[in-house]
Amino acid sequence: MTTSPTAGQHWEQPSFDSEPARPYVTGPVFLPVVTHVNVPAPTQEEQTLRSIRRLVFPIALFVAIVTGHWLPVLVLAIIVSSILKRQLVMARIRRLQLGADLR
């Protein structure tokens, strides 16, 4: 904005041609490398743990409804689910390390 003593303030369009055009990328350009990682399929242990973990909360809800003891059953379900999740994570890490060792 500029101020003129007679006209007050007025807006002027900035000049976009004042700066010379520059290339966006300078220097050598590296293309991304596409790699294929061979990861072994989940083991039977992983699949079993995953199936059990999926059943923990439905079974806990059923037991809580039948027995009427909501809090202990749901706390136990949360603890069992977290233990199973940790076991699944450790099994996945072992599987990925095995896949990295095979390369």
Decide: helix, strand or coil at residue 102: helix
Identify the CA nearest to 52 among candidates 84, 76, 79, 6. Answer: 84
Domains in the chain: how many in total? Answer: 1
* DSSP assignments along 10-64, one per residue: E--PPPSSSSPP--S--S--PPPPP-----PPPPHHHHHHHHHHHHHHHHHHHHH
Residue 48 inside a domain? The answer is yes
Q: Which domain holds residue 69?
A: 39-103
pLDDT one-digit tens code per residue, 42-99:
889 999 999 999 999 999 999 999 999 999 999 999 999 999 999 999 999 988 887 7
| Residues 17, 51: Cα–Cα separation, whole Å | 64
Task: Supply the pLDDT for residue 15.
Answer: 73
Residue 30 inside a domain? The answer is no
Higher pLDDT, 88 or 28: 88
Residue 16 inside a domain? The answer is no
Residue 99 inside a domain? The answer is yes
Residue 26 inside a domain? The answer is no
Residue 5 is classified by DSSP as T
Tell me the pLDDT band of 41, cut-offs 50, 70 and 90: confident
